[in-house]
């Protein structure tokens, strides 16, 4: 059995390893101006990329033989065989029963090993935090939630760490060696991030948490590599792992939760922009002639729905209350749905024209009934052809937490341009 030691284990290091750039002390002493240039690559970085390509091919297509993988990836047969042997030895792939592939000897397909790696996802939302752990194939193996205060991050951090620890204990109770195979933690919370955030309503924007050194504190408390993203980006990662964007190189995932946003998958990777605010469509202004125009997500979102119909968005049964209102088909609720579908059709059309994605999805933490109803009305408004229709995506309160957990899996195993760079 390979001796693993957390994220520093050999198999994990191989997923990330790149050569550091050479240091030129003379240039450092001269304080030369910064030169804008792309990083080069090396044979070691190419090897990492090839491993990721093989893992991704199996993830997208299911179990594949060495011959099929070599044909699909254009890797030399010997290179492919060496990669498969490494991945099998490291517990990341499993040999399946032999099958016939045309003439000749039966071929052995290889599938991803569910217990080969695990990832932690943490969603920090208004009044609640959710933690999930997924395995290498995206199955949820443990999950918990806890109430959390948006205005007290120091106290909230204690609750978050306890939540993570409880969820990890559940995982290790079922799989004792799983703790050594956790590749990292993804954290998702509402955006936008940075100075452009609306700090006039700090509870709504969770500005207290944005000003808190969350990533560093979580890394120190858990010993895991942590990455932060907004909730719409996390929802897109969930769609990429197990939803409508699975296997797609270009996708737009419009996120309908307490707020409104979009996650962008471009060339197979999540595009997050300069300040991790790409896709912040909820901040689009309405009635721009007004001195202080409304923003879209105050109208089209679960927060807007709750405000319109007098629901407490922090109530434990708020989802059931929303579902009940949808089922009653009250004229005022139907009017809200029509208005929201109109705004979302406008946004969807812009996204499709600007990015030309393979799929465009409406997903989020909104109830499934709301997502399905809006998608039907949006497509009617768009008069969309088959290749331009909006699709129904994941709709569950745990969608963002699942996407947060998907991020470290993607960071560790998906083909990425960054994996080819020397640093």
Query: Among candidates 52, 36, 50, 41, which has minimal Cα distance to 18?
Result: 41
| Domain's final residue, options 94, 112, 130 | 112
Q: Is residue 31 assigned to a domain? A: no
Q: Is residue 213 assigned to a domain? A: yes
Average pLDDT over residues 194-222: 74
Q: Are residues 315 and 185 in the same domain?
A: no
> Hey, what are 276's tokens?
């991790």
* Number of domains forming the structure of the chain: 3
User: Residue 148: its pLDDT value, please?
Assistant: 87
Inform me whether the pLDDT recorded for 17 exceeds 90. no
Q: Are residues 199 and 283 in the same domain?
A: no
126: Cβ contacts below 8 Å, ≥ 6 apart: 150, 190, 203, 204, 206, 258, 313, 314
Is residue 55 left, alpha or beta, with left meaning phi > 0 and alpha meaning psi from -120 to 50? alpha
Q: Are residues 149 and 289 in the same domain?
A: no
Q: Is residue 418 assigned to a domain? A: no
> Is the pTM here over 0.95, yes or no?
no
Q: State pLDDT tens for residues 400-412.
A: 999 999 999 999 9
Q: Are residues 201 and 290 in the same domain?
A: no
Q: How far apart are CA 159 and CA 174, in angstroms?
A: 23
Q: State pLDDT tens for residues 86-122.
A: 999 999 999 999 887 667 778 899 999 999 999 999 9
Count helices and strands in the chain by DSSP H and E runs:
15, 13
Inform me whether the pLDDT recorded for 13 exceeds 80. no
Q: Are residues 107 and 124 in the same domain?
A: no
Structural domain boundaries, residue 45:
10-24+37-112
Q: Is residue 421 assigned to a domain? A: no
Query: Among candidates 117, 131, 224, which has minimal Cα distance to 170?
Result: 131
Q: How far apart are CA 250 and CA 265, in angstroms?
A: 5
| Domain's final residue, options 82, 112, 142 | 112
User: Residue 418: its pLDDT value, please?
Assistant: 73
Q: Is residue 3 assigned to a domain? A: no
Inform me whether the pLDDT recorded for 333 exceeds 90. yes
Q: Are residues 153 and 207 in the same domain?
A: yes
| Domain's final residue, options 112, 147, 165 | 112
Q: Is residue 316 assigned to a domain? A: yes
CATH number for the domain harbouring residue 329: 3.30.420.40
Q: Are residues 20 and 143 in the same domain?
A: no
Beta strand spans in 267-411 (E): 269-271, 359-364, 390-395
398: Cβ contacts below 8 Å, ≥ 6 apart: 130, 132, 140, 143, 365
Q: Are residues 164 and 93 in the same domain?
A: no
Q: Are residues 208 and 172 in the same domain?
A: yes
């Amino acid at each position: 059995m390979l001796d693993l030691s957390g994220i520093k284990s050999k198999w994990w290091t191989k997923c990330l390893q790149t050569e550091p750039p050479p240091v030129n002390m003379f240039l450092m002493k001269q304080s030369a101006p910064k030169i804008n240039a792309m990083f080069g690559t090396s044979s070691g970085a190419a090897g990492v990329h090839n491993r990721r390509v093989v893992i991704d091919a199996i993830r997208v297509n299911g179990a594949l033989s060495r011959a099929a993988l070599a044909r699909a990836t254009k890797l030399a047969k010997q290179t492919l065989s060496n990669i498969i042997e490494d991945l099998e030895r490291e517990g990341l792939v499993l040999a399946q029963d032999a099958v016939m592939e045309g003439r000749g000897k039966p071929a052995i397909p290889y599938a991803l090993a569910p217990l080969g790696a695990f990832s932690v996802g943490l969603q920090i939302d208004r009044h609640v935090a959710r933690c999930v752990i997924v395995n290498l194939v995206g199955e949820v193996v443990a999950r918990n939630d806890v109430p959390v205060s948006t205005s007290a991050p120091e106290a909230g951090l204690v609750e978050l760490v306890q939540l993570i620890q409880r969820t990890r204990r559940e995982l290790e109770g079922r799989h004792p060696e799983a703790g050594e195979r956790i590749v990292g933690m993804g954290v998702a919370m509402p955006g936008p991030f940075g100075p452009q955030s609306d700090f006039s309503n700090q509870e709504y924007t969770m500005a207290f948490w944005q000003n808190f050194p969350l990533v560093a504190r979580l890394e120190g408390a858990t010993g895991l590599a942590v990455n932060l993203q907004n909730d719409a980006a996390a929802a897109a990662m969930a769609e990429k792992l197990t939803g409508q964007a699975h296997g797609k190189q270009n996708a737009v995932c419009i996120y309908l939760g307490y707020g409104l946003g979009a996650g962008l998958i471009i060339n197979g990777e999540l595009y997050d922009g300069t300040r991790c605010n790409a896709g912040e469509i909820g901040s689009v202004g309405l009635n721009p002639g007004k001195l202080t125009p409304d923003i879209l997500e105050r109208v089209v979102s679960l927060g807007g729905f709750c405000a319109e119909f007098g629901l407490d968005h922090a109530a434990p049964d708020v989802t059931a209350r929303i579902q009940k209102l949808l089922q009653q088909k009250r004229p005022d609720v139907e009017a809200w749905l029509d208005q929201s579908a109109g705004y979302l059709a406008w946004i969807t059309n812009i996204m499709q024209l600007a990015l030309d994605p393979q799929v465009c999805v409406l997903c989020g933490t909104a109830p499934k009934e709301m997502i399905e109803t809006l998608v039907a009305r949006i497509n009617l408004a768009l008069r969309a052809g088959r290749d331009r229709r909006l699709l129904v995506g994941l709709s569950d309160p745990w969608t963002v937490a699942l996407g947060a957990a998907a991020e470290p899996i993607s960071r560790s195993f998906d083909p990425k341009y960054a994996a080819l760079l020397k640093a």
